[in-house]
Amino acid sequence: RNIIGNRIDGYIDSVGTTTRAVVYGIGLTALAQAILAGIGYYFSGAPSPILLTIVTFIIALIPFGTPFVWGGVSIWLLSQGHTV
């Protein structure tokens, strides 16, 4: 505490605020991706669009994870003859 002195409290508050903002940002981005993907699943005729939306939300919490879910759904739909 002697090296930084009284400024340490401001730094700790800044780290806490930044961390909180990052967590909220990741969560809200995952939610937005899941909602948009869920709408796409519904209109494309994918089976269980609500379940796929939940899976998309969970996987979207991992950076670059969302394409694995909708990519898998896309491949499945193409294999079933849903080309539109």
Single pTM value for the model: 0.79
What is the structure's pLDDT at 76? 92
Strand, helix or coil at 64?
coil
For the segment 15-40, what is each residue's pLDDT rounded down to a tens digit? 999 999 999 999 999 999 999 999 99
Q: 78: which 2 tokens? A: 């193409």
Q: Tell me the C-alpha distance between 2 and 43, whole Å.
A: 62
Q: 72: which 2 tokens? A: 């898998």
What is the structure's pLDDT at 84? 75
For the segment 48-78, what is each residue's pLDDT rounded down to a tens digit? 999 999 999 999 999 899 999 999 999 999 9
Whether 31 contacts 37, CB under 8 Å: no
